[in-house]
């Protein structure tokens, strides 16, 4: 039976120079009511990935843009495009928290550190791709 990974274990794995990763990654554990691991990929520091783990899932989130950054006349077209991109964008989906649009990936709590690092790398790529694809809808 696998033990469930913790944020501390994930941070230690990522920060270990011998762990297999495609990008240099730095982490910071943010303690709070819900602990969050902030992950920064080198040359992508403007788009950190935030990871939480609870009893039902491992959630990896990257923030995209605020509601007020959307061109009002293109808002419905943006929504249609976001829904259309949800299927072909591997391991990631779009959502909204308050006035903040996000891209996220959710994983099983049984995922190991190697799988989580893969999700982080894919989510980082998808964040950049989404911003490039959707820039025409933003001010």
Q: How many domains does the chain have?
A: 1
Interhelix angle 113-134/7-15, rounded to 10 degrees, is 80
**Alpha-helical regions (H) of 1-110:** 7-15, 75-85
Q: Are strands 25-30 and 36-41 parallel, antiparallel or unpaired?
A: antiparallel
Contact 105, 50 (CB under 8 A): no
Q: 92 lies in which domain range?
A: 7-137
DSSP string, 86-102: TTTSTT-EEEEETTEEE
Asked whether residue 126 is domain-assigned, the answer is: yes
Which pLDDT score, from 0 to 100, does residue 1 have? 43
CATH of the domain at 111: 3.30.1460.10
Asked whether residue 1 is domain-assigned, the answer is: no
Tens of pLDDT, residues 19-65: 778 888 899 999 999 999 999 998 898 999 999 999 999 999 999 99
59-84 as b/e, with b when 16 or more CB fall inside 10 Å? ebbbbbbeeeebeeeeeeebeebbee
Mean pLDDT of the 115-129 span: 94
Asked whether residue 98 is domain-assigned, the answer is: yes
Asked whether residue 92 is domain-assigned, the answer is: yes
Which pLDDT score, from 0 to 100, does residue 2 have? 55
Mean pLDDT of the 109-131 span: 94
Mean pLDDT of the 111-130 span: 94
Tell me the pTM.
0.92
């Amino acid at each position: 039976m696998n033990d469930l990974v913790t944020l501390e274990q994930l941070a230690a794995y990522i920060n270990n120079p011998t762990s297999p990763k495609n990008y240099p990654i730095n982490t910071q554990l943010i303690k709070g009511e819900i602990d969050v691991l902030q992950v920064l990929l080198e040359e992508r520091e403007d788009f950190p990935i935030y990871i939480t783990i609870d009893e039902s899932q491992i959630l990896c989130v990257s923030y995209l843009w605020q509601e007020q950054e959307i061109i009002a006349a293109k808002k419905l077209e943006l929504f249609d495009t976001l829904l259309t991109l949800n299927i072909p964008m591997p391991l990631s989906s779009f959502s909204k928290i308050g006035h903040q649009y996000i891209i996220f990936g959710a994983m099983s709590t049984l995922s190991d550190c190697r799988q989580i690092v893969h999700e982080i790398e894919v989510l980082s790529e998808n964040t950049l791709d989404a911003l490039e694809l959707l820039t025409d809808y933003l001010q």
